[in-house]
């Protein structure tokens, strides 16, 4: 019985060590496999299921869409689209100049004139997600 108790304690101790090791390891983000590149945005348009889109052409950032104040989920583009349309719900297209895309890991940091500052995360080969969790996709593979 003493040997059985000793083996049980050893097994319990080993299980505890493995459990603690698993709990202290850093969780890996779901998008760790995807690296954002500025070229992903070049001459490309990403569109959401809400039919809002964002694209970069040269140094111009093009944002199009409709602001739907009744939508259950809001996007990062909603505030820009709403301010341009005056909250009317009309389709807009706006070109912002001096656009720049910086990347770090899976993140895109987009800035342009008129105070535009947006952050997206690459979550798939052709899918990005804004800070509100809205996904945008493009049919074009990155360069």
Q: How confident is the model over 70-118, as pLDDT tens digits? A: 888 899 999 999 988 887 788 999 999 999 999 999 999 999 999 999 9
Cα angle vertex 100, ends 99, 104, to 5°?
Answer: 150
pLDDT of residue 28: 47
Stretch 56-75: mean pLDDT: 92
If one counts every other C-beta atom within 10 angstroms of the C-beta of residue 41, the result is 25
29 vs 58, which has greater pLDDT? 58
Tokens standing for residue 132: 């509100």
pLDDT of residue 85: 87
C-alpha to C-alpha distances, 33 to 24, 59, 125, 142, nearest whole angstrom: 21, 28, 10, 15
Question: Which of 53-57, 87-91, 136-140 is predicted most confidently?
Answer: 53-57
CB 94 within 8 A of CB 85: no
Stretch 23-47: mean pLDDT: 75
Stretch 39-49: mean pLDDT: 94
Residue 46 CA to residue 88 CA, distance in Å, equals 23
Of 129, 99, 103, 130, the closest CA to residue 114 belongs to: 99
């Amino acid at each position: 019985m003493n040997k059985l108790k000793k083996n049980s304690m050893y097994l319990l101790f080993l299980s505890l060590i493995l459990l603690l090791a698993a709990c202290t390891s850093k969780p890996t983000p779901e998008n760790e496999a995807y690296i954002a590149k500025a070229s992903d945005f070049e001459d490309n348009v990403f569109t959401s299921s809400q039919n809002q889109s964002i694209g970069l052409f040269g140094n111009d950032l093009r944002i199009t869409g409709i602001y739907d104040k009744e939508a259950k989920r809001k996007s990062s583009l909603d505030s820009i689209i709403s301010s341009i349309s005056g909250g009317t719900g009309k389709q807009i297209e706006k070109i912002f100049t001096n656009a720049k895309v910086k990347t770090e890991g899976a993140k895109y940091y987009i800035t342009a004139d008129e105070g535009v500052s947006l952050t997206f995360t690459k979550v798939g080969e052709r899918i990005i997600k804004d800070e509100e969790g809205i996904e945008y996709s493009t049919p074009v593979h990155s360069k």
